[in-house]
Structures are given as C-alpha cells and as structure tokens.
Amino acid sequence: MDFDLSDDELTFEKEVVTFLEANHSDEVMDANPEHLSQTVETPAKRAFMAKLAEQGWLGMSWPKEYDGQERSGIYDFLLTEALSRYGCPQPGKGVGIVGKTIIRHGNDELKTYFLPRIIRGEIEFAIGYSEPQAGSDAASMQLKAEHDAERGGWVLNGHKIWTTSAHFADWYWVGARTGDHKHKGITLFLIPMNHEGFEIHPTYTIGDERTNEVFFNDVFVPDSHVVGQVGKGWTYICEALDLERFAMLPVGPIEMKLKGLIEYVRTETLDGEPLSRDPVVRQTIAKLRADLEIARKLQRKVISEALKDRVPTVEAAMYKMWQSQVGQRIANAALDLMGPDAQLKPGQPEAPAGGRYERSYRYTVVDTIGGGTSEVQKNIIAGRGLGLPKNF
C-alpha cells in the first residue's frame, strides 16, 4: 500500500498551509487544538469558512453538477488535516455527512436549496442521533415521527441529547423513528433550528465543551424535507459515518498534543537534570510517537478504501478507536511527567504548559465517545471484521 502523496497533492497541502499562515486569527484558530472537530459557532469562524469556499476548497470531491471539482477525496482529507493542526473550524458535517448524503439520496428540492449554500460555506448543521436511551446504540432511537397526510408531512415528538451545535446551527439533521423495525424504521429529516417546537437546553461536558439537549414538541416537517426514502435513514447514517469518520476525527490535534509534550520535555528539568535524558521519559515519548504513526497508517487505510468506493466500516472503527485512545495516552503521560502541578487548570499561575494537558486529560474522555464509543468500535471490529458471533 503506497501512502506517499503525489506532487499535485503535496502542492495543494503547501497551498493550504500558506493560506492559513497568511490568514492567522486568534478569533478563529486555537493555539493548542485539543478538540477533534472544531465548530463554527462565531461570526469570525463563519467568515473564515466563507474564505475557504472562495478558495474553492469546500466540496472539492463533489460532482461538477453540484459545483464540485470531482477531485479525489484525498484533497478533502489534506484540507481537514491542515485545518486541524491550526485549530481551525472544519467543514466536515455540511460538506461530508449532509452534502454527500443529499447528493446520493436527496430529492431535487433539497439539492437545489442546500447544496449551493453548503459549498459556499453559508450554512451550518447540527446532527441529531443520540437519545437518553440510545446513545451508543443509535439504532434504538425512539424520537417519534408520525405522518400527517392532511398537512403533507410528519410530526415529531421526543428528545435528543449530545447535539453539540444546536445552539448556533441553522438546520437540524435528525433521525427519527417512523416504523417498528429497529434498523428499517428510522428516517432522516432536515428541520430549521428556529422551529418554534424546539426547546434547547445546554449540557457542559467534562472537557468544558457545550453540547445540548433538544426537546421536540409537535415539530412539523413537510414531506419534502425527508432525506431519501422513509425507513432508510439508518443505512444513510452508517454510510455517512463510515465515509467521513476520518474527516471528522483528524490526526492533527493529537499530533499537536504530542509535539507540545515533546517541547516540554526538551526544556524542563527533574532534580537538576534535563528531563529529556531520563530513560523512562525517552521510552514514553518513543512509544507515543510510534502510536501516533500507527494512527496515521490506520487513517490512510480508511482513506484508501473510501477512494476505491468501498464503505470502510471496519477500517473506520479501527482508526477511530485507536486515534481517540492515543489522545488519552498522550494526556495521561503528560500528567505523569509533569507531576502534581499538572492538575493546575489553564490560566492558573505556574500551571505546566499553561494547563494545556489538564484540559486535554478531561477532554480526551469526550473523544472516546463522540462518533461512536470505543465499545461500539470494538463490536464492529469483532463482528464485521473478525466474524465473531454476538455474545461470544
């Protein structure tokens, strides 16, 4: 398997880095990127996304029919990785999950309205899958959608949780139950976030990130805003997650975490001796460096399968589980190496590395949940990858 980039791909990568250096902004970029998927919740970040669109970098792999360039998906990957290393917002949900699903399965009305706005960077989405009784097992969602033939649409009642972008997004991409069959009874809908039937309540995670509970009170959705076929929502959800997980969860942030830890080790001392000379410390850093390289190779396997028009279900599960656990190992190692002062929070005096790794330690717990928990990934690897029976 050849993981080397072509000359054109290397040129594009340099072009993106040059753009990011020229457009540096503290309002847009996180100097210490910890989040695996930066959001677009401020006007400055929306303006930045519009700049990416002006460069022609949103929807590069889309068909030309929808103003894409039909470039290889490797260019979407290169863009996402560069953005993640600079702590920038990323276009994954709109361009990837929503846009590509609409291209494959949406009706003409959805294509006409949403696709031009997505590729121009004008619209943001919240994703609604998880529920109180259906977190890791999204196929068990119970948000109820009942058809109202007289009004020509559906009425939704129920409750979603962990909807990170609900407080600033324009539209809600949401799965709801339209039938009794566990997997064939789910349908996808698109709903404006300013719908009067929504109640949005904040929930703050251990990693200082805001997510939300969303309550549906007789939320009406016209038939025209059903995505694809009724009852096929679960198929679309899985397809999008498998194809986009590598874009939603880039390597860049954990690469920057390790880089920061290495810089700390190079400059700090322990009992008057350089920390970098301690054999245990050197072994720890070497192991983390190897773990990071494995994450990169697993990510490339996902991309390789996707570029061959295969659905990389098992490869994506392997990558997601390993990548999020490497982030945890880096944070754990940092706290061990820094000692008791590592518990000081960002902004507190004398916090090692500005408290970065105390924050990272907390946030990496969230990383193992978003996009499917590590337990879910293990089940996918065991069942679909190794062919092991359930309850083995």
Query: What residue segments make up the domains of the chain, in order of their start?
Result: 7-124, 126-231, 251-385
Residue 163 is classified by DSSP as -
Query: Class assignment of domain 126-231?
Result: mainly beta
Helix (H, G, I), strand (E, B) or coil at 17: helix
CA distance 269 to 272: 6
CA distance 352 to 335: 9
Per-residue pLDDT at 309: 72
> How many other C-beta atoms are found inside a 10 Å radius of the C-beta of residue 109?
11
Per-residue pLDDT at 240: 79
Per-residue pLDDT at 74: 86
Torsion of CA 270, 272, 278, 281, to 10 degrees: 20
CA distance 203 to 209: 8
Q: Which CATH architecture has domain 7-124?
A: Orthogonal Bundle (1.10)
Contact (Cβ atoms closer than 8 angstroms) between residue 209 and residue 114:
no
Q: pLDDT tens for the chain, 392 residues: list them.
A: 556 788 999 999 999 999 999 999 999 998 777 655 567 888 999 999 999 999 999 999 999 999 999 998 889 889 999 999 999 988 878 998 999 999 999 999 999 999 999 999 999 999 999 998 876 677 789 999 999 999 999 999 999 998 989 999 999 999 999 999 888 999 999 999 999 999 999 999 888 888 999 999 999 999 999 999 999 999 998 887 765 555 667 888 899 999 999 999 999 988 888 999 999 999 999 999 999 999 999 988 888 887 777 778 898 889 999 999 999 999 999 999 999 999 999 889 999 999 999 999 998 888 888 777 888 889 989 998 999 987 65
Query: Class assignment of domain 251-385?
Result: mainly alpha
Residue 253 is classified by DSSP as H
Per-residue pLDDT at 376: 86
Per-residue pLDDT at 243: 57
Helix (H, G, I), strand (E, B) or coil at 278: coil
CA distance 379 to 377: 5
User: Who's near 236: CB < 8 A, 6+ residues apart?
Assistant: 101, 104, 105, 188, 227, 228
Per-residue pLDDT at 312: 81
